[in-house]
Structure 1
Amino acid sequence: MKILIVEDDADLREIIVRSLEKERYIVAEAPDYKTALYKVEDYDYDCILLDIMLPDGNGLDLLKEFHDIGKHPNVIILSAKDSIEDKVAGLDLGADDYLPKPFHLAELHARIKSLLRRNHREGKKLVQYGNIEINPDDYKVTVNGKELELNRKEYDILFYFMSRPGRLVNKNTLAESVWGDHIDQVDNFDFIYAQIKNLRKHLKEAGATPELKAVYGFGYKFVVE
C-alpha cells in the first residue's frame, strides 16, 4: 500500500515516515501544497495524510483541487486546528477521516488500516480470492489453508493483485505502487519481471487457483480460470 504524507513539519513528517515504513507501507512525502499537487497529478496513492496548514496554501483547498483534476484518493486530515468547522469542511470536500494533532502513532496506524479495509476490502479483515487468503495485519498468506512463504516484494505484488482481482493492471502502475514514485526513472523493469516470475512459481507449486496472467504490451491480470 502506498501513502503520501503532506506535512510541512519536517520532524513530524520523518517520524510518520519511519513508523509507516516499519509497517511495510510505501511512503512518499510532500512538504507543501505545490509538491503535493504535483505528486497527486502524476501518481496514485492508497491513502493521503493531509495537513491543513501548509506554508503555501490551505490543505482544504488542496483537497478540492484533487477532485477538480479527477483524483479521488482516500484522505485522512491531520491538523492542529481541531475545530468543528474544519472537520465538517474537510468531510464535505471528500476527506474520509480527521485526526487532530497531537496524536499517537498507534491511533494513526489504526485509522489507516480501518480506512483501507473499508474502501478496498469492503470492511473485511482478510483478503480472499480463489483459494488464496491474506491477513494484512500479520502479512500471512495461505493457499488451501497452508501457509505460503514469500519475500517482501512477492507479498506486496500478491497483495496488490488480490485487492484488484480480475483487473487489468499496467506494469508502470504496478511498479509505482510496489516500489514507489520514482520507479519511472529506471532503465528497465527486469527486476519486476524476476519477482513476478518467482511469485508465479510459488503460487503454482502451492496449488493456487488464481493465476497471474501477462497481457502482452500492457501488464498483468490476476484471474481464476
Structure 2
Amino acid sequence: MKVLIIEDERELADSIITYLSSEQFICEPAKDFNAAMEKIHLNDYSCIVLDLTLPNGSGLDILRELKKQQKEDGVLIISARNSIDDKIEGLNLGADDYLAKPFHLAELGARVAAIIRRKSFGGQNIIAIDHLTLDLSDKTLKHDGQPVSLTRKEYELLLYFISNKNRVVTKESIVEHLWGDDIDMADSYDFIYSHIKNLRKKLIQAGCPDYIKAVYGMGYKFSI
C-alpha cells in the first residue's frame, strides 16, 4: 500500500518514511505545498500523512483540493497546531484522523494501517476471499489454513489485486502503486511480468484457482 508523506521537516519525514517502510508500506515524500499538490493530482494513495503547516501553502488547502477532485485517498493529519478548530476543520474537509506532534512512530503506523483497513477492507484485519485468508496484522497468507510463502513484493501485489478484485488494473497502475518514485516506468515491464508470474505460480501450487487473468491490451484482473 502506497503512502504519501507531506512533511517539510526533513528529519521527521525521513523518520516516518523509514518506519513505515519497515512496516511494508511504499512511501513517497513531498516536502512543500507545491510538490504535494502535484503528487495528489498525478497519483492515488492508500493514505496521505499530511502536515498542516507547509512552505508555500496550507495542508487544509490540500484537503480542499482532494475534496474538490472527489479523491478517496485516506488522510491522517499530523500537526503541532493541536487546536480543536484545526481538528474540526480538517475532519470536516475529509480527513480520517488527526495526530498531534510530537507522537510515537508506532502510533502513527497503527493509525495509517487503521485508515487503510477502513478505506479498502471494511475495517477488517482478516481478509477472506474464497479459500484465501490474508492477515493484515502479521502480513501472512493462508490457503485453506496452510501458509503460502510470499516475498514482500508478491504480498503487496496480491493485496493490491484484492483491493481491486474483479476490476481491470493496468500495468502502469501496478508499477505506480507498488514502486512509486523508485521506478522508471518508461524502461521495461519485465519485472512486473516476473512478479505476477511468480505470484500466480505460488497460488496455483498452493491449490488456488488461477485468480489472476491477463486482459489483452489493458492489464490484469483478479477474478473471484
For residues 142 and 55 of structure 2, what CA distance do their matches in structure 1 show? 47
Task: Find out whether 1:211 has 2:211 as its counterpart.
Answer: yes
**Residue range with higher mean Cα deviation, 172-181 or 65-74:** 65-74
Q: Give runs of aligned pairs for residues 159-174 of structure 1, distance below 5 A.
A: 159-174=159-174
Distance 1:70 1:125 in 2: 26
Give the match for residue 50 of structure 1.
50
1:107 aligns with 2:107: yes
Distance 1:5 1:11 in 2: 12
CA distance in 2, matches of 1:129, 1:182: 31
CA distance in 1: counterparts of 2:48 and 2:160, whole angstroms:
17
Separation of aligned partners in 1, 2:210 and 2:87: 42
Partner SS state of residue 211, structure 2 = strand
Residue in structure 2 matched with residue 126 of structure 1 by the alignment? 126
TM-score after normalising by structure 1:
0.96
Q: Which amino acid aligns with 2:183?
A: I
Partner of 1:158: 158
Q: Tell me the equivalent position of 1:195.
A: 195
Contact 2:175-2:185 within 8 A present in 1 as well: no
For residues 9 and 142 of structure 2, the distance between their equivalents in structure 1, rounded to whole angstroms, comes to 41
Give the partner amino acid of 2:139. Answer: Y
Between stretches 207-216 and 16-25, larger displacement belongs to 207-216
Question: Which stretch shows the higher mean deviation, 178-187 or 89-98?
Answer: 178-187
Equivalent-residue separation in structure 2 for 1:85 and 1:100 (angstroms): 13
**Residue 8 in 1 paired to residue 8 in 2?**
yes
1:138 counterpart residue number: 138
Q: State the shift of 1:176 in Å.
A: 1.0
C-alpha distance in structure 2 between counterparts of 1:208 and 1:3, whole Å: 30
Deviates more, 1:162-171 or 1:145-154: 162-171
- Conserved in 2, the CA contact under 8 Å of 1:80 and 1:101? yes
Q: Distance in 2 between matches of 1:113 and 1:185?
A: 27
8 Å Cα contact 1:48-1:74 kept in structure 2: yes
Partner of 2:60: 60
Would you say the 8 A contact 2:131–2:143 is kept in 1? yes
- Shift of residue 9, structure 1, vs aligned partner: 0.4
Shift of the alpha carbon at 1:184?
4.8
| Aligned positions, number | 224
TM-score of the superposed pair, with normalisation by structure 2: 0.96
Unaligned runs of 5+ in 1: none
- Equivalent residue letter for 2:215: V
CA–CA distance in 2 between the matches of 1:73 and 1:165? 18
C-alpha contact (below 8 Å) 1:32/1:54 kept by paired residues = yes
CA deviation after TM superposition for structure 1 residue 210, in Å:
5.5
Secondary structure at the residue paired with 1:221? Answer: strand
SS in 2 for 1:49: strand
**1:175 — aligned with what?**
175
Percent identity for Structure 1 against Structure 2: 46
Q: Which has the higher mean CA deviation after the structures are superposed, 10-19 or 120-129? A: 120-129
Asked if structure 1 preserves the Cα contact closer than 8 Å seen for 2:200 and 2:210, the reply is: no
Larger mean Cα displacement after TM superposition, 119-128 or 83-92: 119-128
> Is the partner of 1:180 in helix, strand or coil?
helix
Contact (CA 8 Å) 1:176, 1:182: kept in 2 or not? no
